[in-house]
Structure 1
């Protein structure tokens, strides 16, 4: 599936600000499952861009605006071809959870077995995960059970949480957005020693589909399934990741892969709007949807 991704983040400040230092993780990955044909990043006011690969090999673009400015716009346009065929079918049999206890797997996946303020793996989460999986031992089936649980038990509700919401807060609210669904699934998987990592990207919502999270940056989970490697699951839509998904970055949780992050000196009064459009290439003339964040 050949897709065009447009993403614009725009900040407006009540008074001019200075010394703005920023990083953007907006470039799609280029690998066996996803071919990146082009990527263009524009920043206004115009400035020099630098880039590097972070610890998880995500491409990070850096830029700074030392002079006074009342607005900042970050606009990324990408064209990619994605794989339509998932590595595993829903009914596929893989290995047992006990097979993940080898030193090699634990060492390779160490970062994706740990807890954080975003991802709780304490006794309560472990108990919840055990109740979900019941007697199932196949790790692929376990992962799908956890995905279905999160999708069923939590309500997708934009603006009910924020980017710093913890898994504990989401468990209490029983609602959230794709980032929160991903964090809950990460906690449940990691609590039973199933390696799981946070994925940032985008979701194409076709004209006959009603997928949640396609109006902005999307997030899902990848679980480690030997010998296949990392396989994507989307708890927000109860869906195995396929060609509808454009992958941008990998991390332990949201804080590792925010689309745009930065600091500046000046007023705290600002408005942020995000425009996102993911389309088949022949639909590229469509106007992007807009949503605002305080």
Structure 2
């Protein structure tokens, strides 16, 4: 990695508490960063309490999954993922007039290739108002990439980031109507608008170091974060919540059509009601 790269240490703790004893649970964790062009994973592990044997595989979308089942009786489940990752700044960014044109995106070969990333999903589907907005944004810009950047700007201006304003089941239409949401909602809304204009788009799940001027060795409260990527002849990534290209502060964990494809932890169990889920993310810049 180049001198301008960052080295980040991540710790993500999450889990469930139950309203009584659970006999068995079967779980999947999507909390491990992956090696790719702009990030190198130096080490990564996932630990489970109560202890359980884990196995790893790559899912349909290319996300690393740690699967495990807990057969011992338990009243709480905790999963701790730790990783050290080197990341790069944004690099070779497309100009607003760069990338494929509208005609290229409409070629049957490209529509077939990215079919799943052009369809609405439960959290990205639009209503009539948003569909008209998407058509207007497309009509106002000469290239898909310019329209995508404009979409990110508009969503950021119109939807206020507010922690706790929504839940994991909130969809794009709800976030738009209340003009409040978190990074997940802002990303779902952006993805939905891009797909409606014919641009393949995907939802990205990962982590964000909150400080551009991060001190070396200082552990800070980080975030599970979400952003978007769109295809205009090549994939390009952007963080609409913060209005910035994806760079050294971002760590990718998974991609998919929406949050439902990349939840950090999900599972099934036999027993009493789940009484809460805690999440704690700590990020340290090592260099």
Which residue does the alignment assign to 1:32? 37
TM-score by length of 1: 0.89
DSSP 3-state at the match of 2:195: helix
Separation (CA, whole Å) in 2 of partners of 1:196 and 1:241: 15
Separation (CA, whole Å) in 1 of partners of 2:270 and 2:44: 30
Q: Residues 204 and 218 of structure 1: is their aligned pair in 2 closer, same or farther, counting only changes over 3 Å?
A: same
Which residue does the alignment assign to 2:229? 222
Which residue does the alignment assign to 1:290? none
Separation (CA, whole Å) in 1 of partners of 2:193 and 2:64: 28
Kindly indicate whether residue 211 of structure 2 is the aligned counterpart of residue 206 of structure 1.
yes
Which residue does the alignment assign to 2:10? 5
Separation (CA, whole Å) in 1 of partners of 2:128 and 2:109: 25
Alpha-carbon distance, 1:91 to partner: 4.5
Alpha-carbon distance, 1:56 to partner: 1.0
The answer (yes or no) to whether the contact 1:114–1:121 under 8 Å persists in 2 is: no
User: How many pairs were matched up?
Assistant: 276
Query: Over aligned residues, Cα RMSD in angstroms?
Result: 1.7
Q: Which runs of 5+ in 1 are unaligned?
A: 283-294
Which residue does the alignment assign to 1:58? 63
Which residue does the alignment assign to 2:87? 82
Which residue does the alignment assign to 1:146? 151
Kindly indicate whether residue 131 of structure 2 is the aligned counterpart of residue 135 of structure 1.
no
Separation (CA, whole Å) in 1 of partners of 2:187 and 2:127: 17
TM-score by length of 2: 0.91
Deviations 1:158-201 (A, max 9, x none): 11111111222212211111110000001100001011000000
Most deviating of 36-45 and 260-269: 260-269
Kindly indicate whether residue 100 of structure 2 is the aligned counterpart of residue 95 of structure 1.
yes
Q: Which runs of 5+ in 2 are unaligned?
A: 1-5, 215-220
The one of 43, 47, 51 aligned to 1:46 = 51
DSSP 3-state at the match of 1:279: strand
Q: Residues 109 and 262 of structure 1: is their aligned pair in 2 closer, same or farther, counting only changes over 3 Å?
A: same
Kindly indicate whether residue 249 of structure 2 is the aligned counterpart of residue 238 of structure 1.
no
Matches within 5 A, 1:117-196: 117-121=122-126, 123-196=128-201
Most deviating of 128-137 and 270-279: 128-137
Deviations 1:175-234 (A, max 9, x none): 11111000000110000101100000001122648xxxx7431000000021xx211111
Alpha-carbon distance, 1:28 to partner: 0.6
The answer (yes or no) to whether the contact 2:96–2:149 under 8 Å persists in 1 is: no
Q: Residues 97 and 81 of structure 1: is their aligned pair in 2 closer, same or farther, counting only changes over 3 Å?
A: same
Runs of 4+ in 1 over 3 A off after TM superposition: 89-92, 121-124
Which residue does the alignment assign to 1:285? none
Separation (CA, whole Å) in 2 of partners of 1:50 and 1:269: 24
DSSP 3-state at the match of 2:235: strand
